[in-house]
Chains A and B, each alone.
Chain A
Amino acid sequence: MALLDIKNLTLEIDGTNGWIKALDKINLTIDSGEIRALVGESGSGKSLIVRAISGALPSNWRITADRMTWKNIDLLSMNDEERRKIMRNEIAVVFQNPLKSLDPSATLEEQLLESIPGNLLDKGYFWQRAQQRRVIAAKLLHKVGIKDHKRCLKSYPHQVPDDICQKFMIATALAPNPELIIADDPTRGMEITTKAQILRLLTRLNKTKDLSILFVGHDLLAISSMATSMTVLYCGQTVESGPMDKVRKRPLHPYTKALLDSAPSFRKDLPPKSPLSSLEGTIPSLQHLPIGCRLGPRCPRAQKECVKAPEPRRIHQHYYSCHFPLHREKR
C-alpha cells in the first residue's frame, strides 16, 4: 500500500512576470517498507517537493494536486494542527546541511530530549520521566552509531564533526518512531567511509524497523546501492520512475541515461582518462524555463514534437515522460 501518494503536484511561485511552475505535475509514491530515491540536480525541485510534503511553504505560493495523501488521508485539505501532528509523529525530515537546522545555542542533549514525545514515556514523576528521556536519548545515539553518547550530548552543534552531526540529526528524526524518514541529501560532501556508514545505518533501519525512506540527492552511486526504487526529476518535472534495477539497467528517458552515464563508476568498460559523457549546458533557471519538455534545448533526441510536454507513459511499474524514449529508435 502506498504510504505517501502524490499525483500531479504543481507548485506555482509568483515571479515578476506572472506565475512560474516550479513543480510541474509531479508524481511520487512511497510504499510501506520501501526506500525510494528522489534524484535530480540542484535546482530540479527536490527540496521544494520535501517542503510541499511537510507543509512548509509560504502562503502566497499556489499548490495544487490531483492527489496528495498520507495513508489515504488528504494532506492538502487538512488543517495546520493535524498536519503538524503527522510531521511530528509519523514523517520525519532530515535536512541537508545539519548545522543550519540545529539550534547553535543549545546543547545537543537539550535538542534531542526535546524531540522525544511524551507519549513514549511511562507515567511517573517528572524526574523519572526525565531519566527515561535520557535513557532513550542514549539508546537513539547508539542506534545511529554514536558510541560516546555522553561526549556528544554535552557538545554544542558547532563542536561536533559533520558526520556525527548528521548521525545526530538522524537520531533526532528517529525519536518519535516515525513511519517515514525523508532524508534530503544526507551524505553531501561526506567522505566515503562516513557515507557508507550513514547508508548502512539507513538500510538497517529500513530492514529492522520497517521504516520507509525517501532518499533525496544526486549521488547516484550511493543511491543505487541502497534504494529499491527511484524517481528522477529534471527542472521541476518527473521524467522517469520505477524499480531501481529496471531504471538503472534500462533507462527510458534521455535525461536518466545521461545522469547514469555521467558517473564513471557505472561504466566498467570506460578506458581511464577518456572523456565522460555529459549533456551540454546546464539546468535552466525558473525564469528561463523552456516550453514543453524542459529538457528540450539540451536533449540529443529532441524533435519538433518536444515543444509539447510529454504525457507520462508506462511499461509495468516503469513510468517515463518522453516523446522519443530510448527503447524506440530515433526517427
Chain B
Amino acid sequence: MSPLLSVEDVSFTHIVENGWFQRPRKFVLSPVTFELNAGETMAIIGENGSGKSILAKLLVGAETPTSGAIYLNGQKLKYNNIKQRCLNIRMVFQHSNESLNPGITLGTILDEPLKLNTQLSPEERQEKVEQTLRLVGMLPEHQYFYRHMLSDGQKQRIAIARALILNPQIIVADEPFAALDPSVRSQTVNLIMKLQRDLGLGFIFISHNLGIVRHISDRILVMQEGNVVESGKTDVIFNWPKSEYTEKLVQSHQAMLSKN
C-alpha cells in the first residue's frame, strides 16, 4: 500500500533580500524526500531561516517546487490542480491572529472554504460549520463571534477548524504552539492528537519546542541551511543523533532538562 504522503526530491530556489548579509542571497532548498502514513506525525526542527517554512509552503502548494514530486495516496499532485491540493493538505498558519479576518464572523470565516471548494447547499454548509466547531471543542454559538472576542487558544482552535473543514487528510502547521500559554498549549496538543486518532489525520508541524516534538511526533526532519541534515524515528533522533547539528540541538534540550 502506498503511504499517505510521499515527497520525492522536492527542491526550491529563490533569491532573498537580506540586510544582515547586505547583498541579496540565493536560498536553495536541497532535494527533500520523506514519507508520512495516515495518523502519523512528523516534526520539522532546525534554526530560523533553514527552510522549514518554505518546505511547509511547498507541501500545501503555496509555493511551486523547482523540481521533484509530491504523491498523495500514490497519486502525483499536479501544480496546476490547486483545488485537489487545497482539499487534502491544509495549512494552519503561524499567527492565527493575523490570518483570521477581524471584520467577519467566525461562521463566515469557516464557510468561505466550503463555498469556494464544495457543491454543498447553504444548509449543508451551515451544518458542516457547526459540526467542525464542535470537533475542535467549541460551540455552535461561536459562529456568530468575531476574532477579537476569542482568547489565544480559541483563535488557534478556529485556525485548526478552518483547516479541518474540508476534511483534509493532512494538516501542516508552522509553529502552532509557540504563541500559546502552557495550559492552552496542552489543550491544543491534546486536540490534535485526538483528531489524529479519530480521523487518521497526518500531521506535519514546525516547532522549536523539543519537549512537545519528542512527545507527539513519530518522525523528525532536521533542517539546517536549506538541507535536511537528518531524518528518522523520533526515538532514534533523540537517542542516537547522527549529525553534529542534531546532536547540538538535542544536547541543548537535554542540558536544560538535566539541571532539574
Contacts and interface: CB of A to CB of B under 8 A. Distances in A.
A276 B185 CA distance: 9
Interface in A177-216: 189-196, 199
B95 to A, nearest CB: 11
B184 interface: yes
Contacts of A262: 182-183, 185-186
Interface string A79-95: 00000000000000000
A221 B182 CA distance: 11
A225 interface: yes
Interface stretch (A7-15, A62-70, A132-140, A264-272): A264-272
B183 A192 contact: no
B260 A161 contact: no
B113 interface: no
B19 A282 contact: no
A159 interface: yes
Nearest to B22: A159
B259 A226 contact: yes
A221 B181 contact: no
A18 interface: no
B142 interface: no
Contact of A279 (B20, B183, B259): B183
Contacts of A279: 183
Contacts of B187: 278
B215 A272 contact: yes
B178 interface: yes
A259 B185 CA distance: 11
Interface residues of A, number: 44
A160 B193 CA distance: 37
A43 B209 CA distance: 22
Interface string B28-49: 0000000000000000001111
Given A192-B252, A263-B211, A275-B190, A225 B151 contact: no
Interface size class of B (residues with CB under 8 A): 35 or more
Contacts of A224: 256, 259-260
B248 A193 contact: yes
Given A161-B48, A273-B216, A193 B260 contact: no
Contacts of B260: 224-225, 248, 266
A317 B97 CA distance: 41
Nearest to A263: B211
Interface in B245-260: 248-249, 252-253, 255-257, 259-260
A196 B47 contact: no
Interface in B232-249: 234, 248-249
Nearest to A152: B20
A199 B212 CA distance: 20
Contacts of B19: 155-156, 158-160
Interface string A133-165: 000000000000000000000011011111010
B20 A155 contact: yes
Contacts of B86: none
Given A225-B260, A248-B260, A258 B183 contact: yes
A276 B190 contact: yes
A269 B215 CA distance: 11
B183 A41 contact: yes
A211 to B, nearest CB: 19
Given A221-B257, A226-B259, A273-B215, A283 B181 contact: yes
B182 A189 contact: no
A253 interface: no
Contacts of B57: none
Contacts of B181: 41-42, 218, 282-283
A193 B48 CA distance: 11
B138 interface: no
A20 interface: no
B208 interface: yes
Given A196-B252, A248-B260, A282-B151, A191 B208 contact: yes
Contacts of B234: 272
B183 A282 contact: yes
A289 to B, nearest CB: 15
A277 interface: yes
A222 interface: yes
22 contacts: A41-B182, A155-B19, A156-B19, A191-B208, A193-B249, A196-B256, A218-B182, A258-B183, A259-B182, A262-B182, A262-B185, A262-B186, A264-B211, A264-B212, A264-B214, A272-B215, A273-B215, A276-B189, A278-B190, A279-B183, A282-B181, A282-B183
Interface of B: 19-20, 46-49, 151-154, 175, 178, 181-187, 189-190, 193-194, 208, 210-212, 214-216, 234, 248-249, 252-253, 255-257, 259-260
* Closest 9 pairs (CB-CB, A-B): A159-B19, A265-B211, A278-B186, A41-B181, A276-B186, A196-B252, A264-B215, A225-B256, A262-B182
